[in-house]
Amino acid sequence: MNTTTNASGTTTLSIDGMTCGHCVQAVTKALSAVPGVKVRSVAVGSAEIEVSDSGAAGKAMAVLQEAGYPARAMVATDTSVSSKPAGGCCGGASKAGAGSGADLSGSTPKGGCCG
């Protein structure tokens, strides 16, 4: 049995690049479209899903990667979630020059919810 999925088929994903409510909506929409995946909850940096099999969990992570949100299944005992933005819509834009007075229009990185 996969150590990242418990007996009830619940998997917790750690998701990079999520920084705002729009990211949560984009991740929820992406996960909801994956056959064999039922979304239990999504918050900035993580999602809890129910999967029909380990293949569905892999497909969910692949869909999130394609959407610009790299994800990994968390080991059942690992409850830590990184609080540093790692791209996505707001994290990538802030790294590109937020606070410097730079015009960020058009500088949002490809991927995430805005790219």
Is residue 33, in this structure, part of any structural domain at all? yes
Over residues 6-24, the pLDDT tens digits come to 434 899 999 999 999 999 9
- On whether residue 106 sits in a domain, the answer given is no
Q: What is the pLDDT of residues 64-106, one digit of tens each?
A: 999 999 999 986 544 444 444 445 555 543 333 334 343 444 4
Kind and range of the H or E element at 42? strand 37-43
Q: Could you give the number of structural domains in the chain?
A: 1
To 10 degrees, the CA torsion angle through 30, 33, 35, 38? Answer: 70
Residue 100 placed within a domain:
no
CA distance 99 to 22: 21
Residue 34 belongs to a domain: yes
Assigned domain for 112 exists? no
pLDDT at 96: 37
**Can you tell me which residue has the tokens 């005992």?**
77
Q: Give the CATH number, domain containing residue 38.
A: 3.30.70.100
Provide the residue range defining the domain that includes 16: 10-85
